[in-house]
Every structure is written in C-alpha cells, then in structure tokens.
Chain A
C-alpha cells in the first residue's frame, strides 16, 4: 500500500510538471500570436531602424524554435525579461508585490474557509432552523453581489460613514480588513453551498444511519464520520478558490488600491509592460497547477479508496 501511494504521488507530480511545461509553451505561443512583439513594444510609429535594432536585441530575428528554446532557457534561469516601466528584472518586480497579495489572499481565504464551512455545516445540519435559513439566504446574497459593489458598500459604511477603517492602501492591519472581507464574501458563499451539499449527502448516507442505530452520539458522528467524508468535495472547491485567488484579487486590489500583484497586473496591461504581464501570467498559472497538485495529493490522504483505484 505504501509503495503504491508513493507511486501515485510520483505520477501526480510528474503530471503537474508536464502541465507547467504546456502552460509555459502556450504563454509563448499566445505572446507571439498577440502580434509582432516589436510593434507591441515600440508602438506603430517606430522607425525601421529602431525596429531592426530591437529585433536583434530581443533575438526576434532568429528562427522561432531558437526563440522558444531561448525563452525556456531564460525561464529556467529565472529571468523573464526586463520591465519596460520599472527598468528592472520583471520577475523581481512581480515578486516584490507578492507578499502583499499573499497576505490579502491568505487572510481572505482563511476567513472564507472558516465562515463558509461553518455556514455550510449549519445549513446542512439544521436545514429548517433560523441558522440554516440564514445561511442559505446569506450564500445566495454572497454569490449574487459582485465584489466591486460590495467593496463600495463596505467602504461607504465603514470608512466614510463610521470612519473606522481606511478606504485603501496597505499601511496597517486596519487597511487589510475591508479588502479581505470583500474577497472572502463570494468565496465563502461558494464554499458554504458545496459544504452544505456534501454534508447533507453524507448525513443521508447509510453508514451514518448505521452509526445512529449503533447509538453513536450525533456530534461524534458529525465529526468522525460526516466531516471526513464531506472533506473531499470541500477540498476540491477550496483548491479552485486558492488557485484562482492570485488573479481573483485583481478587482479587489484595484478598488482598495492594495499594491499587490493584481494591482500591478492592471497597471502593467495599461502600460503595455509585456515582460511583467508575462511573469504574472506564468506565476498565476504555476500557482494554479501547484494548488491542484496539492489538492490531488490531499485526496489520497483523505480518501483511502483513491489509493487502490486506478490512477
């Protein structure tokens, strides 16, 4: 069994690496499809001399395969070109914005996970009680209200009317509260819905019925039988949310002027800072693949059946 597990882990990691290579390649192809990079960089008014000089400098006059290999070589060395705006290594620019985005997404997701899973369990266990109904209504509202609208409402109430929290920036923990809550709202609603379904399904299962018939107390059944079974679908959704959070923070970061990667992405697109955009896309893609890998590995830990079934 243990050898089998190791084999499954190895194959999953190998698959994730292949996916990363494919992602990197498609980014290269997309960048070339988006138009002549020289025109993109220099604008349509550039002179032929400037274009030729730039092409030579960037290696754009070489065959496409050679360009691709050079691109891969650069990625392995960790150099993704020099930012057009910052005149620095693009990856360095992106990484300098990463801690703030991580702070925001981690706090938002922790909040979302706690609130969403708790609300989902409550809604599943007490479907007709006040708590259950409140959770159901709350999740619908959370799903329906767009995050920029919620952001503005929160800002109006807590910053402008009550003057408790700042409207933007990243000076102290107080500026983190509103963006984190805004981001958590939609995620927790999604999580709550899936948690409710998963817990409900497990509660209705026959092994729970049998556990009741054996006289196991309800809370024990919930913690030791229902939640371990409901964990698999919850983990799946959580994985998707984490993977999406890096890019999903764009709107919230922009609204609250939170100087993270999302904010950087928006300004870089506006500035046509291609190396930075490319670095962000590669980073976000890798993050997505890695969370999926982590979720996949999590399954084998949570559900013993996935070890012996086909990989």
Chain B
C-alpha cells in the first residue's frame, strides 16, 4: 500500500528545528527519580508467553513532562494501569516499579493520580460533581463535610473553574468535556500526587479546549512528574521534555523531545512523524508504513517492526534489539546507519 519513506523526512526536520528554541529552560528536573521502572514485563497470567509489555525501562523526575507516544495495541493502557495499581487480575507483572525509591506495593496510593481520555466516563453519572470531589477529599484527608466543601471549591478554583459552588451542584452530563476534564484534574490534585498519569487527556477535546487543559497541566507540573500518554506528536513535541515511543509493548526510542523530533532514530518514530499532515504549505502524500502493529500473540523473536521496516537487516528477524545510545536519546534498532 503506502510505501515507507524513512529517509526523506530527516532533512526538513533538522532544518526547521534549528529555528526552534533549544529546549525548555526547564523547571529543574533533578533529584531522585519520582518514578523508576526497570525491566517491566507484563504477561497474560494464563499464557505467560503472550507479552503485553516487554522490558520497559525509564525514569521520571520531579517537574518532568514525559510524553509516551504509541498507537492502539502498543501497551500504553496496560502500562498506565500497572503503574496505578489497577491492572486487570488476568495480567501478571514482572520487573520493578518504584515511586520515590519505594516499591509500588509499599507506596501510599495517593502518591499517584490519573486522568483519562473521556472524563465523562470516569465520573459517576448519578452523583453530582460536589459529592465526588468532597468524597475524595474526605477520604484522603479525613476532613469534616464543611471543610471538605471548602477544599473542593479551592481545588476547582485551582483548575480554573470560577464558579465552584455552581459547578459542584452539576452532574457530569450537564458539563462539557473540557469542564469534566478540569474536574478530573481537580480530583487528581486532591491527592497531592507526586506522579500524574494523563492518558490522552485532550484527544477528545477541541483544539482551543485542548490548549487550555495543556496550559493547566503546564502550570501544575512543577510539583510533580507527568506521564503524558498521547498519539498527537504535535502535543508531545510542544509540551514534553522527553518523548518515549512505545511499539508493540516495547519502548523503541526514548529521548529529549527536540532530539527525537529532529533526528528520529527508530524507523517507526520516523514513520510516525511523517504521518502527520502538514498544516500549511503544499500538501504532499502522507507516508505511512504498510501493515499494522503485530498482535501480542503473533509477536516473533526478532524486532517487532521488522515486517514493516524498509531498512531491515538479517539480524532483525531473529534478535530483538535493546535500547542503546547517548543518554539524551536511546533507540532499539539494529540498523542505525539506515
């Protein structure tokens, strides 16, 4: 079908990026990592040979905005629910997840919070916003009902809702997607989390609302680490410090956002960038690799991308590449000269 053109795009990116700012002035992302994942492999409990995630490894520091990019079936959701500790009982996790140096099982649940793609599905439809927010605050901080109401109103103000008391009387179906997402963020903030997982929080929103929500997250990030799952490379590039690309359960490339955009090293990353339609200029054909993501049950011994890759070598068929490279950008590919 569509041919993969893996080289054509590097040059223009390199060119356009030279004009860009060299990188975020950076809210100092330092200190001990907030989230540290080592060798995380998730398999089906019934069929341990079916791996949904394989040897996933990365760290997040305070103030960092990490964009995780991947298509459906890449294992994004499994990763999020595993970190949140709400993974399905049909899965078995191997490897380690540490939050602030402590094992996930020993960590207080309120250290991590999550927001989702369709906030209205994650809010109870028959309870009003006030109830759900107050409940969260009450359970977490053991406040009285009156104190909880005040705290809930403060939280809503924090996420840019100016009429908190009016909003607390409303039900999720009476509000827009953007407002529901703000409420979800307020609930997440109630936990004062160290780690915020945002699973495509803006994909279902209009661009202007998306911008508001992203600005809000931007404002909040100094206190926490944000793991931002998205399939919008524009958002990933604009907002994140680092980008990780997940393909078929494996992180195939992790690097500083500007480096990944300027010189994507993995052929799949290149394919992703070339599939983005340009906003202006003369339209060209969009490039997209033929075929689709291999199902977890059909994954072979070699590189998962081998069957769709134009720069495939012999070694790709039988040996799975591992992440390697300079600290700012690592990639799992055998053919780095391609």
Contacts and interface: CB of A to CB of B under 8 A. Distances in A.
Instruction: Answer yes or no: do A and B interact.
Output: yes
Given A214-B191, A215-B139, A206 B116 contact: yes
B124, B128, B135: most-surrounded residue (chain A CB, <10 A)? B124
Given A215-B109, A215-B110, A207 B123 contact: yes
Interface in B172-192: 173-174, 184, 187, 190-191
Interface string B120-156: 0111111110010001100110000000000000000
B296 to A, nearest CB: 22
A297 to B, nearest CB: 16
Contacts of B187: 210, 214
Interface in A187-224: 205-207, 209-217, 220, 224
B136 A229 contact: no
Interface residues of A, number: 22
A215 B86 contact: no
A308 interface: yes
Contacts of B127: 224-225, 228
B133 to A, nearest CB: 10
Contacts of B113: 213-214
Contacts of B171: 304-305
Given A216-B135, A224-B135, A308 B173 contact: yes
A302 interface: yes
A61 interface: no
Interface centre among A213, A216, A303 (most CB of B within 10 A): A213
B9 to A, nearest CB: 37
Contacts of A302: 126
Contact of A216 (B116, B126, B136, B184): B136
Interface in A97-156: none
B114 interface: yes
A228 B131 CA distance: 13
A201 to B, nearest CB: 13
Nearest to A212: B86
Given A224-B135, A228-B127, A308-B173, A215 B121 contact: no
Contacts of A207: 121-125
Interface in B91-121: 109-110, 113-114, 116, 118, 121
Contacts of A216: 135-136, 139
B124 A211 contact: yes
Interface residues of B, number: 29
Contacts of B37: none
B84 interface: yes
Contacts, number: 69
B126 A303 contact: yes
A303 B124 CA distance: 11
Contacts of B125: 207, 229, 303-305
A229 B126 contact: yes
A302 B171 CA distance: 12
A213 to B, nearest CB: 5
Contacts of B126: 228-229, 302-305
Given A215-B109, A215-B140, A220-B139, A210 B122 contact: yes
A206 B114 CA distance: 12
Nearest to B125: A305
Main secondary structure of the interface of A (DSSP, over half): helix
Contact of A304 (B86, B109, B173): B173
Contact of B86 (A209, A228, A229): A209
Nearest to B173: A305
Contacts of B114: 210, 213
B191 to A, nearest CB: 7
A225 B135 CA distance: 11
Nearest to B169: A1
A303 B128 CA distance: 11
B252 to A, nearest CB: 28
B122 A215 contact: no
A169 B85 CA distance: 60
Contacts of B124: 207, 211, 225, 228-229
A118 to B, nearest CB: 21
A214 B135 CA distance: 10
A206 B113 CA distance: 15
A239 B183 CA distance: 36
B110 A213 contact: no
Contacts of B84: 213
A152 B110 CA distance: 58
A211 to B, nearest CB: 7
A303 B122 CA distance: 16
A156 B94 CA distance: 60
Contacts of A229: 124-126
B82 to A, nearest CB: 12
A248 B131 CA distance: 41
A288 B187 CA distance: 44
Contacts of A210: 114, 116, 122-123, 184, 187
A57 B54 CA distance: 91
Contacts of B128: 304
Contacts of A215: 109-110, 139-140, 191
Nearest to A305: B173
Nearest to A202: B124
Interface of B: 84-86, 109-110, 113-114, 116, 118, 121-128, 131, 135-136, 139-140, 171, 173-174, 184, 187, 190-191
Given A209-B86, A214-B136, A215-B109, 16 more contacts: A207-B122, A207-B125, A210-B116, A211-B124, A212-B86, A214-B140, A214-B187, A215-B110, A224-B127, A225-B124, A228-B124, A228-B127, A229-B125, A229-B126, A303-B126, A304-B128
10 contacts: A209-B122, A212-B86, A214-B113, A214-B191, A216-B135, A216-B136, A220-B135, A304-B125, A304-B128, A308-B173
Give 9 closest A-B pairs by Cβ, nearest first: A210-B122, A215-B109, A207-B124, A206-B121, A304-B171, A228-B126, A206-B122, A305-B173, A225-B124
